[in-house]
Amino acid sequence: MARLIHLNGLSRTGKSTLARRYADEHPGTLALDLDVLTGLIGGWKENFFEALEIARGHGRDMAARHLRDGHDVILPQLVTVHDRDPDPAFEAVAIATGATYVEVILLVDDHEHLQRLHGKRPANAVEARLQTMLKDPDSDLVDRIRGHLAEYLAGRPHAIRLDTTGIGVDESYTRFLNAVDVTQQRK
């Protein structure tokens, strides 16, 4: 059975890295990075959140087709209580197509999160824009997002929580695979 695996978490917890690696090792899997899709929409620099909403709509359509065709989709995307089109829309796509929905939250402690944010080299223009906003010393954006994610998690008891504090990409990936495999065995 096809699965939609949603990797949720703060910026720089490894969502895109793990998603890309999973897709590379699981032929046919779609690594559906909505930040990349957002950057393909004209005007995204002037109105990022409008472009993101458009990307989410296209992303749902792409995910539905891929899942209906029997292939997994891995979605590296931060979702919090303040998203206008929250995660249940992608969960609904999985259900509507007969696929399994798995949500994995990548966590990191506050100190290490700040270190990762400042050490990140953006992979594309959208990431660069987001990183600039997150690193603004006059902004409390990072703290607000952390709070919004915590509030979201309180309502998601079935989401798998994976703490990446103090571990590298390889160990994070191994723990992620183990968590996803255990979930698959329960079905």
**Gap between the Cα atoms of 103 and 76, Å rounded:** 10
Model pTM above 0.85:
yes
Average pLDDT, the chain: 89
R_g of the chain, CA atoms, integer Å = 16
Q: What is the pLDDT of residue 83?
A: 67
| Confidence at 184, pLDDT banded by 50, 70, 90 | low
**Gap between the Cα atoms of 94 and 101, Å rounded:** 6
Residue 13 has pLDDT above 80, yes or no: yes
Q: What is the pLDDT of residue 49?
A: 85
Q: What is the DSSP letter of 137?
A: T
Q: What is the pLDDT of residue 87?
A: 53
CA distances from 54 to 23, 38, 83 (A): 24, 8, 13
